[in-house]
């Protein structure tokens, strides 16, 4: 199985967490080995431990300019946030006047820990206050007018010094004046987690009541943080017990964490020979990385304004690329980046960018690059070189065209032969290429993929002979017209793109229009029902239907809706019967939507799990009964319950326990035992090119999985093991293949990430 190339890791996800600096790690280790005493103990070892703790506190107070304010060590930022909110709300509850309406305010781009904590403690404390999000402008700056309007009746306001996704900073002096002019007595918490080491702070000269910090965002270990409490600000201990931290926060202190912080604070206070770069240098680092990104991805859009953000964060999107595609690409090049906030990595899109009013595609395609103030010029040079290598790999997949300014380290292209599935969300575009004739078919082109398709055609030197939609209705947006105007401007075709110069052939006892692509024929089968303008396209060879592009007529686990003005259940029933006579049971049905990552289906698979489709295909249902049952299904779909129906069919038909999961050791044993196990690497060609070493694996990109399934339907008992970067894609692909009868399909749990 493949091993990663010996590439040094380029870590550009510092806003999520940072590595522990060697000096800080040494200090923590020393504290564990020699200064391991309990600071509460009165013997010498305990006194030495207490001295270290107080030295760390003193340096922190000097660094932050806390003055008479308190500084309490915590387990991290989340505890500091809880401590701040709890203290403020308990005090605010005493001031509530009956019959008056109150609120608590927080920035709409705030870390989710803040609004969720506000809701939690308001409920626990039984405080009747509305939680309101303060809007931001296109730069992520808080709305002054909203604060002026709502702060007078607010119990607490929570803002952020520096945003974790965009690096956008708030002008605290301006913000303070706005808040205090509106309500001098409101309790104010400022999340300073991302500000430490990146901006200067002088807390004693502000009216900030609470400011939480975290150690692991600035080269200290996880599990250590601290919170500032302004002198005379109300305070309630979040953790009670043994009375440590002068009774303000109980629990034995994390001395190794404090020892690490002590070293970091000392470095930040040092004016010379510090491990940390100054602000001007950090700005030059960001510009160098941004320039490299622009050279490598000329269509890049930066989501954060550099003028309004700290110099250690870059947030960007590349048109036609999802955030996952870029993350997978960079991960293959050993570059670590994130999609938005690491704390919400499973969420599609960024609520921060949404709040800033950015287009949905930018939010869903956002990539965050972030580095810390200990970044060096050598680190930046390595990062830029690696970004160039990663972008070069995209030319291998024909996802970008060669750029002479970058070079030509990766010249060989992954030749496209056969079927390719491209996606945007749950929508699919299908491309069929014939290498011998350099011809291509494009079916259901999506507007989001126009540039990707254009690049693919140019890079592979393909000529499209038809660009066709399978259907058209009010909520369907096609990208066909733009591509057709470019490549097929002289072609005479109907409203869906089917060429008028096609010939008529007889197939399965039915007269069909047909066009040739290489040695295959594409047949047009009118299949109205979902909409009146619906067709199915059947790609066949020697009277054998290989693929059927059925649009929305047949989906995985469901049928297309028939409650549009231009649709008809009766017509759909006739179309289904026609398809049943035209297609073989193992013809792969390629729908225009794939809501559950099933890739493809067959009539046999659908008839087993979909009683409505089964009855229709077997001719065991009357037209009236079909119309009635289809209307009921459409009603559910219209009420947005359709996804649950399809999901239920999907989950119910896929027995995950039947899919074997290997780890690296057991897979190595299986390969060595000569049991016929074959490893299939389902990463995209650019990922494979970046990290593949000589071994016996075969690269079958996930975008080519349907082609692989079609070519190997006679080998459903072959023991294949699917592998990818993390194990997520391989599990999804294994489930889809198992549902189609591949009985011995398995995957590598944890992928390559856990295999070395």
* d(C-alpha 143, C-alpha 287), whole Å: 28
C-beta atoms surrounding 2 within 10 Å: 20
- Listing DSSP states for 597-646 in one string gives S---B-HHHHHHH-HHHHHHHTT-S-HHHHHHHHHHHHHHHHTT-HHHHH
What burial class does residue 242 get, using C-beta atoms within 10 Å of its C-beta: 0-12 exposed, 13-18 middle, 19+ buried?
Answer: exposed
What is the residue whose two structure tokens read 């002979």?
Answer: 465
E strand or H helix at 374, and its extent?
A: none
What residues contact 182, with CB distance under 8 A and at least 6 apart? 147, 148, 151, 152
Rg (C-alpha) for the chain, rounded Å, is: 30
Residue 201 structure tokens: 């702070």
What is the residue whose two structure tokens read 């291998």?
Answer: 396
C-beta atoms surrounding 721 within 10 Å: 24
Closest Cα to residue 677, out of 657, 696, 700? 696
What residues contact 101, with CB distance under 8 A and at least 6 apart? 130, 153
* d(C-alpha 723, C-alpha 289), whole Å: 32
What is the residue whose two structure tokens read 């350099």?
Answer: 438
Eight-class DSSP state of 13: B
Contact 590, 428 (CB under 8 A): yes
* Residue 550 annotated in active site: no
Q: In degrees rounded to 5, what are phi and psi of residue 711?
A: -75, -15
* d(C-alpha 237, C-alpha 214), whole Å: 18
* d(C-alpha 275, C-alpha 674), whole Å: 53
The catalytically annotated residue of 343, 459, 540, 654 is: 343
Closest Cα to residue 15, out of 341, 392, 455, 491? 341
Contact 259, 93 (CB under 8 A): no
Taking CA atoms, 71 is separated from 28, 143, 409, in Å, by 20, 30, 53
* d(C-alpha 202, C-alpha 206), whole Å: 7
E strand or H helix at 157, and its extent?
A: strand 154-160
* d(C-alpha 82, C-alpha 111), whole Å: 13
| SS3 category, 372 | coil
Q: In degrees rounded to 5, what are phi and psi of residue 481?
A: -60, -45
Nearest 5°: the CA angle 642, 646, 649 is 145
Q: What is the largest CA-CA distance in the chain?
A: 98
Catalytic residues, by residue number, are 343
């Amino acid at each position: 199985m493949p091993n990663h190339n010996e590439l040094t890791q380029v870590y550009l996800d510092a806003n999520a967490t940072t590595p522990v600096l060697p000096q800080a790690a040494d200090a923590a280790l020393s504290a564990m080995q020699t200064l391991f005493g309990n600071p509460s103990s009165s013997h010498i070892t305990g006194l030495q431990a207490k001295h270290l703790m107080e030295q760390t506190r003193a340096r922190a107070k000097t660094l932050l300019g806390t003055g008479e304010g308190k500084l309490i060590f915590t387990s991290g930022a989340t505890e500091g946030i809880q401590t701040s909110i709890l203290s403020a709300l308990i005090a605010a509850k005493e001031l509530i006047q009956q019959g008056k309406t109150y609120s608590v305010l927080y920035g709409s781009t705030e870390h989710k820990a803040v609004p969720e904590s506000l809701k939690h403690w308001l409920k626990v404390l039984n405080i009747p206050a509305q939680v309101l999000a303060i809007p931001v402008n296109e730069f992520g700056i808080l709305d002054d007018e909203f604060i002026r309007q709502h702060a007078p009746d607010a119990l607490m306001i929570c803002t952020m010094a520096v945003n974790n996704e965009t690096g956008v900073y708030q002008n605290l002096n301006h913000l303070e004046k706005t808040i205090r002019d509106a309500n001098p007595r409101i309790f104010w918490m400022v999340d300073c987690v991302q500000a430490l080491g990146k901006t200067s702070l002088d807390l004693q000269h502000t009216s900030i009541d609470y400011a939480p910090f975290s150690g692991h965002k600035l080269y200290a270990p996880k599990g250590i943080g601290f919170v500032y409490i302004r002198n005379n600000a109300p305070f309630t201990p979040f953790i009670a017990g043994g009375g440590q931290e002068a009774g303000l926060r109980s629990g034995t202190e994390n001395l190794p964490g404090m020892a690490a912080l002590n070293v970091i604070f000392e470095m930040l206070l040092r004016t010379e020979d510090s491990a940390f770069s100054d602000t001007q240098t950090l700005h030059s680092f960001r510009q160098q990385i941004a320039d490299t990104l622009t050279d490598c991805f000329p269509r890049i859009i930066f989501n954060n304004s550099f003028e309004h953000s700290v110099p250690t964060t870059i947030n960007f999107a590349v048109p036609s690329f999802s955030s996952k595609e870029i993350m997978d690409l960079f991960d293959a090049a050993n570059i670590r980046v994130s999609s938005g906030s690491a704390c919400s990595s499973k969420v599609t899109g960024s609520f921060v960018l949404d709040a800033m009013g950015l287009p949905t595609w930018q939010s869903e395609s956002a990539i965050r690059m972030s580095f810390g103030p200990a970044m060096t010029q050598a680190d930046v040079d390595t990062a830029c070189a690696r970004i160039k290598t990663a972008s070069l790999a995209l030319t291998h997949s024909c996802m970008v065209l060669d750029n002479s300014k970058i070079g030509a380290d990766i010249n060989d292209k992954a030749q496209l032969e056969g079927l390719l599935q491209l996606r945007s969300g749950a929508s699919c575009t299908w491309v069929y290429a014939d290498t011998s004739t350099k011809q291509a078919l494009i079916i259901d082109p999506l507007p989001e993929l126009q540039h990707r398709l254009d690049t693919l055609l140019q890079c592979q030197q393909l000529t499209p002979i038809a660009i066709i939609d399978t259907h058209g209705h009010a909520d369907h947006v096609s990208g066909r017209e733009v591509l057709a105007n470019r490549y097929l401007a002289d072609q005479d075709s109907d409203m869906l793109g089917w060429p008028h110069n096609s010939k008529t052939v007889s197939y399965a006892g039915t007269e069909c229009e047909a066009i040739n692509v290489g040695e295959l024929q594409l047949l047009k089968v009118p299949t109205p029902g979902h909409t009146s303008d619906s067709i199915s396209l059947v790609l066949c060879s020697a009277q054998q239907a290989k693929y059927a592009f059925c649009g929305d007529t047949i989906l995985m686990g469901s049928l297309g809706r028939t409650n549009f003005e231009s649709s008809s259940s009766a017509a759909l029933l006739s179309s289904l019967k026609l398809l049943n006579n035209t297609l073989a049971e193992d013809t792969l049905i390629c729908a225009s939507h794939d809501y559950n990552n099933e890739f493809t289906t067959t009539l046999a698979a659908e008839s087993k799990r979909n009683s409505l489709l089964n009855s229709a295909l077997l001719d065991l249902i009357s037209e009236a009964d079909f119309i009635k049952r289809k209307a009921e299904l459409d009603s559910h779909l219209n009420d947005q319950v359709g996804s649950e129906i399809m999901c239920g069919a999907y989950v119910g038909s896929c027995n995950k326990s039947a899919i074997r999961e290997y780890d690296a050791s057991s897979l190595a044993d299986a390969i060595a035992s000569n049991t016929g196990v074959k490893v299939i690497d389902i990463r995209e060609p650019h990922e494979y090119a970046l990290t593949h070493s000589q071994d016996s694996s075969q690269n079958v990109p996930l975008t080519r999985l349907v082609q692989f399934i079609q070519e190997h339907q006679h080998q459903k008992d072959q023991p294949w093991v699917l592998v990818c970067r993390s194990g997520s894609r391989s599990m999804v692909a294994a489930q889809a293949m198992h549902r189609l009868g591949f009985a011995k399909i398995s995957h590598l749990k944890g992928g390559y990430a856990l295999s070395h």
